[in-house]
């Protein structure tokens, strides 16, 4: 049985290619239409939202320039507050100080005679007692001094015996009085020379069993060896420094204070160190440094009984000078201050009693910045420029705005500060 249908002719290659291209174009067009529809839908959503009116911050502004807001409004606007506290000191921060050995509690050990260091008996950091040997030095000058002492002893003994004989001869009338006086004078001079030779070697302690001319350097005070300046085999000159000793448990701090604080500086002021320890000012320089226009200040750091200081001589650190605060000085968070003219302004938040819902009255106060520290800024309230107006209240335990000040600045008139602080 045969198929009566007429077979189709084979497809032309060019026609197949055009068919595929048309199908791909249709797919791309459909995707583009779907993407545009999605974009148009999402684009209209924020536009419609933006067209909605933004709720305004309704506030009651008083005749004194203060503004009353509810607690809910403050929270919604991100306004935060912090307490004010009283203080009796103003800290001058960031003064670079250097620790040094106190002059009154230290001693420099020098070699009385030139020579060569033969042995070191202590090193830096060692605690020594008064009279303890620190080093041994062999000196040719000591040999000469010992020979001079022996000669002075012989001459003094001879002159003394001759003076004693002349006393007896004068009593018998054998010699004249002038000869007696001469012998007495020679005996006195020989004794003086002997004392001088003994004094020259009195500070030395010869080394038992040591080499000729070898002596020991002795500690003049009890304390700690802060610095050793000699090594074995080193040749030292007469009166050359060999050791520095200091009584442990105290250091002097030297720093420069601004010249503008001259009237406030005096002995007894506290100086706070980075770890919280306190030193006391001992002396204030009488002349200012011409280059830095500052005064040199010395403070004493004393350790507790039996304790060691966590600082070393020569160490540098930043300290805080604690000055007595003027009356009615307060500490406020540094973030609460806004620059305004010659001074600063901050916003005081005072809760209103018996209000429903809870409300807070906020007013601006002009203050003078006295100093900054890690715990806050020291300020005092400035009188308003208008003499007839009352000075706004700011006291300890009140709350000041630390966040959201830009919003309040646009709502509350800024008080005018006096031109001269």
Is the pLDDT at 268 greater than 90? The verdict is yes
Distances, alpha carbon 5 to alpha carbons 10, 11, 12, 76, 254, in Å: 15, 18, 21, 84, 118
DSSP 399: E
Asked if the model's pLDDT at residue 100 lies above 60, the reply is yes
| Phi and psi at residue 47, to the nearest 5° | -65, -40
Higher pLDDT, 405 or 39: 405
pLDDT tens-digit series, residues 8-61: 445 444 544 555 555 555 554 555 555 555 444 554 444 444 444 444 455 566
Residue 56 to residues 53, 74, 77, 125: CA-CA distances in angstroms? 9, 13, 11, 72
Residues 6+ positions from 3 with CB-CB distance below 8 Å: none
What average pLDDT is seen over the chain?
83
Task: Please count the other Cβ atoms lying within 10 Å of the Cβ belonging to residue 267.
Answer: 13
Q: For residue 219, which of 108, 312, 313 has the smallest C-alpha distance?
A: 108
Residue 420 pLDDT class (50, 70, 90 cuts):
very low
For the segment 299-337, what is each residue's pLDDT rounded down to a tens digit?
999 998 878 899 999 999 999 999 999 888 999 999 999
Q: Answer whether residue 183 shows pLDDT above 80.
A: yes
Q: Which of 353, 349, 374, 372 is nearest to 362 (CA)?
A: 349
Task: Give me the pLDDT at residue 15, please.
Answer: 45
What is the percent of the chain with per-residue pLDDT over 90, rounded to a whole number? 48
Q: What does the block give as tokens for 351? A: 């809760």
Map out the domains of the chain with their CATH numbers.
61-88+327-409 (2.40.420.20), 91-103+248-322 (2.40.30.170), 106-137+213-246 (2.40.50.100), 140-211 (1.10.287)
Q: How many CB atoms lie within 10 A of CB 401?
A: 25
User: CB under 8 Å to 251, separation ≥6 — which residues?
Assistant: 99, 100, 101, 102, 300, 301, 309, 311, 313
Q: Which is nearest to 245 in space by CA: 269, 219, 214, 218?
A: 219
Half-sphere exposure of 58 (CA within 13 A, CB side): 2
Q: Is 332 helix (H, G, I), strand (E, B) or coil?
A: strand
Q: What does R_g of the chain's alpha carbons equal in angstroms?
A: 46
| pLDDT surpassing 70 at residue 134 | yes
- For residue 379, how many other CB atoms are within 10 A of its CB? 28
Identify each DSSP E strand in 247-310 by its residue range.
Answer: 250-258, 270-272, 278-288, 294-302
Cβ(401)–Cβ(79) under 8 Å? yes
Q: Sign of the C-alpha dihedral, residues 230, 232, 234, 239?
A: positive
Count of H-run helices and E-run strands, the chain: 5, 25
pLDDT computed for residue 37 by the predictor: 52
Query: Exposed, middle or buried: residue 386 (CB in 10 Å: 0-12, 13-18, 19+)?
Result: exposed
**Cα dihedral sign for 267, 271, 276, 277?**
negative
Q: Identify the pLDDT of residue 52.
A: 43
Six-digit token string for 390: 């009352």
d(CA 376, CA 334) in angstroms, rounded, equals: 5
Three-class DSSP category at 387? coil
Q: How many CB atoms lie within 10 A of CB 421?
A: 11
E strands in 352-404: 359-373, 376-381, 399-403
pLDDT of residue 307: 84
What pLDDT does 64 receive?
66
**pLDDT tens across 373-403, in order?**
888 999 999 876 655 555 567 899 999 999 9
Query: Which percentage of the chain shows pLDDT scores above 70?
Result: 81
pLDDT at 204 (0 to 100): 78
Least confident of 193-207, 239-253, 303-317, 406-420: 406-420
d(Cα 114, Cα 219) in Å, to the nearest integer? 18
Phi, psi of 286 (to 5 degrees): -90, -15
Q: What pLDDT was estimated at residue 421?
A: 47
């Amino acid at each position: 049985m045969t198929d009566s249908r007429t077979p189709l002719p084979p497809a032309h290659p060019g026609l197949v290619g055009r068919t595929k291209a048309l199908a791909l174009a249709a797919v791309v067009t459909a995707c583009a239409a779907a993407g545009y529809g999605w974009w148009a839908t999402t684009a209209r959503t924020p536009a419609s939202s933006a067209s909605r009116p933004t709720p305004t911050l309704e506030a009651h502004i008083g005749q004194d320039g203060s503004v009353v807001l509810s607690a809910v409004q403050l929270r919604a606007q991100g306004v935060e507050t912090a307490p004010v506290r009283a203080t009796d000191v103003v800290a001058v921060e960031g003064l670079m100080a250097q620790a040094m050995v106190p002059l009154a509690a230290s001693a420099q050990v020098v070699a009385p005679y030139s020579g060569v260091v033969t042995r070191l008996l202590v090193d830096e950091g060692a605690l020594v007692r008064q009279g303890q040997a620190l080093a041994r030095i062999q000196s040719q000058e000591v040999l000469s001094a010992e020979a001079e002492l022996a000669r002075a002893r012989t001459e003094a003994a001879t002159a003394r015996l001759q003076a004693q004989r002349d006393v007896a001869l004068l009593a018998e009338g054998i010699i004249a009085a002038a000869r007696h006086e001469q012998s007495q004078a020679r005996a006195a001079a020989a004794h003086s020379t002997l004392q001088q030779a003994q004094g020259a070697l009195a500070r030395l302690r010869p080394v038992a069993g040591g080499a000729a001319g070898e002596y020991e350097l002795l500690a003049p005070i009890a304390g700690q060896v802060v610095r050793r300046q000699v090594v074995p085999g080193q040749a030292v000159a007469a009166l050359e420094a060999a050791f520095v000793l200091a009584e442990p448990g105290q250091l002097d701090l030297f720093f420069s204070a601004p010249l503008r604080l001259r009237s406030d500086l005096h002995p007894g002021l506290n100086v706070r160190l980075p770890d919280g320890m306190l030193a006391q000012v001992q002396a204030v320089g009488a002349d200012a440094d011409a280059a830095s226009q500052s005064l040199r200040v010395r403070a004493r750091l004393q350790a507790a009984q039996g304790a060691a200081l966590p600082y070393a001589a020569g160490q540098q650190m930043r300290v805080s000078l604690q000055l007595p605060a003027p009356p009615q000085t307060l500490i406020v968070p540094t973030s609460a201050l806004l620059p305004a003219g010659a001074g600063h302004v901050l916003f005081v938040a005072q809760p209103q009693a018996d209000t429903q819902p809870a409300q807070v009255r906020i007013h601006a106060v002009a203050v003078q910045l006295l100093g900054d520290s890690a715990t806050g800024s020291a300020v005092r309230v400035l009188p308003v420029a208008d003499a007839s107006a009352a000075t706004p209240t700011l006291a300890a335990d009140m709350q000041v705005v630390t966040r959201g000040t830009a919003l309040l600045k646009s709502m509350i008139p800024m008080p005018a500060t006096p031109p001269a602080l």
